[in-house]
DNA sequence: CAATTTAAGGACTTTTTTATCCTTTATTGT
DNA sequence: ACAATAAAGGATAAAAAAGTCCTTAAATTG
């Protein structure tokens, strides 16, 4: 459903939000450790998310990645679109050149329903809210036990 | 959502069913043309589907791929699982080692709902039924116009 | 049985995705 | 101004997915 890059991006941004709510900026290394993702690859993804203003960053000592009021309204939908594009929302699930109502593929009508639920899932909570759930211990970004 | 291989597989099997309902066996080349997919790659995928008994095949002149009573009960779910595995149904959407109810990732509860709809989409109609819809012109496997 | 046809199988190539590394640029505190 | 720190950027490497090609095996027809 999501590329690895997107999965890392989602977990990273939620972690950044969690730390930002506590007043901390965080470095790429710390993020990668806490979301169980490869550090250099994670850094690349964060770069892109900063460019698209999903999060903020600051260079130099005491710098790092952060999220604040300017990023408050973003949802997973925005983030997923930046990294994986809009194929999940707009493209034909069977790979036809475009998704069309008048010339639908065998999955079209059913996919439309699924998409509604996917978009719902990705928009009903802000990234900040998801971070608050992690903060409350209701959800986790990684499991290091097994 | 689905790999290219899976998309080709889905369209191919529906095409095979459509032709089988008309009493025809079909070769890899014809299939690939009608579903707008690369021929050798499609052949590879069909090989795997035959091995897993989703469809049947026959070598030699008048041979080809077909589907009959023995394959009647299969759905897209079976086909997707053969090609893409069960990650879409069972794995954690954010890549945690496993999907868990007691230690859920931020998307877990929402993903569960989406999965219900995805499984619903993939199981409510048999592959044969999907072929009948194509036969009736209600849906298409390819569009060569644009 | 021989010739032909078509799937099966395996080796290989290309492209995309994932991942790493190194250099540069900006920022901070002293 | 200087040293230290952290992100940005670009170049590369490894792995996986997508796609191709060639040889072999099975079935059919005459
Ligand atoms: S045409 Fe295939 S999903 Fe709409
Ligand atoms: S734990 Fe991530 S989807 Fe269930």
Task: Give the chain A residue whose CA is nearest to the CA of B145.
Answer: A97
SS3 label, residue A65: strand
| pLDDT (average), residues A70-96 | 97
pLDDT at residue A144, as a whole number: 85
Nucleotides of D under 7 A from a protein CB: 4-11, 17-22, 25-29
- Identify the residue whose tokens are 């469809």: B55
Residue B104 near residue B85, CB atoms below 8 Å: no
Dihedral pair phi/psi, residue A84, rounded to 5°: -100, -5
Domains and CATH numbers, chain B: 4-135 (1.10.10.10)
The 10s digit of each residue's pLDDT in A31-42 is: 999 999 999 999
- What pairs with residue A107 in β-bridges? none
Asked if the model's pLDDT at residue B146 lies above 70, the reply is no
- Joined together, the tokens standing for residue B55 give 């469809």
B95 touches strand D (CB under 7 A): no
Asked if the model's pLDDT at residue B136 lies above 70, the reply is yes
Tell me whether residues A1 and B88 touch, CB distance under 8 A: yes
Asked if the model's pLDDT at residue A110 lies above 80, the reply is yes
Provide CB contacts within 8 A for A75, sequence distance 6+.
Answer: A122, A123, A124, A125, A126, A127
Tell me whether residues B93 and A4 touch, CB distance under 8 A: no
Q: What is the DSSP letter of B26?
A: B
The 10s digit of each residue's pLDDT in B83-135 is: 999 999 999 999 999 999 999 999 999 999 999 999 999 999 999 999 999 99
Dihedral pair phi/psi, residue A33, rounded to 5°: -65, -45
pLDDT at residue A13, as a whole number: 98
The 10s digit of each residue's pLDDT in B49-88 is: 999 999 999 999 999 999 999 999 999 999 999 999 999 9
Rg (Cα) of chain B, in Å, rounded? Answer: 17
pLDDT at residue B144, as a whole number: 86
- What pairs with residue B75 in β-bridges? B126
Residue A2 near residue B93, CB atoms below 8 Å: yes
* A45: nearest Cα among A65, A24, A61: A65
Distances (CA, A) of B10 to A1, A10, B94, B128: 17, 30, 26, 12
Q: Is the CB of A114 under 6 A from ligand 1?
A: no
* Predicted model pTM: 0.95
Q: Is the CB of A108 under 6 A from ligand 1?
A: yes
Residue with the larger pLDDT of the pair B87 and B145: B87
Atom 2 of ligand 1, residue of closest alpha carbon: A92
pLDDT at residue B25, as a whole number: 97
Atom 2 of ligand 2, residue of closest alpha carbon: B92
**Alpha helices per DSSP H over chain B:** 4-21, 28-34, 39-51, 76-84, 87-90, 108-123, 127-135
Dihedral pair phi/psi, residue B107, rounded to 5°: -100, -10
- What pairs with residue B65 in β-bridges? B26, B57
* pLDDT band (50, 70, 90) for residue A146: low
Please give, chain by chain, protein residues whose CB is below 7 Å from any atom of strand C: A 3-5, 8, 37-41, 43-44, 58-63; B 26-29, 40, 43-44, 46-47, 50-51, 57-65
CA of A93 to C1' of C3 (A): 44
* pLDDT band (50, 70, 90) for residue A28: very high
Tell me whether residues B107 and A121 touch, CB distance under 8 A: yes
Tell me whether residues B94 and A124 touch, CB distance under 8 A: no
Residues of A in contact with B146 (CB under 8 A): 97
């Amino acid at each position: 459903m999501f590329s690895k890059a997107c999965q890392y991006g989602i977990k990273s941004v939620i972690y950044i939000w969690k730390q930002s709510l506590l007043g901390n900026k965080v470095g790429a290394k710390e993020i990668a450790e806490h979301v169980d993702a490869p550090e250099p690859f994670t850094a690349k993804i964060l770069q892109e998310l900063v460019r698209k203003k999903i999060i903020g960053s600051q260079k130099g000592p005491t710098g790092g990645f952060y999220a604040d009021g300017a990023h408050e309204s973003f949802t997973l939908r925005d983030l997923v679109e930046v990294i994986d594009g809009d194929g999940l929302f707009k493209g034909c699930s069977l790979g036809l050149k475009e998704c069309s109502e008048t010339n639908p593929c065998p999955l079209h009508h059913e996919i439309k329903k699924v998409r509604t639920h996917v978009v719902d899932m990705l928009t009903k909570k802000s990234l900040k809210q998801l971070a608050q759930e992690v903060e409350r211990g209701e959800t986790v970004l990684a499991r290091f036990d097994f």
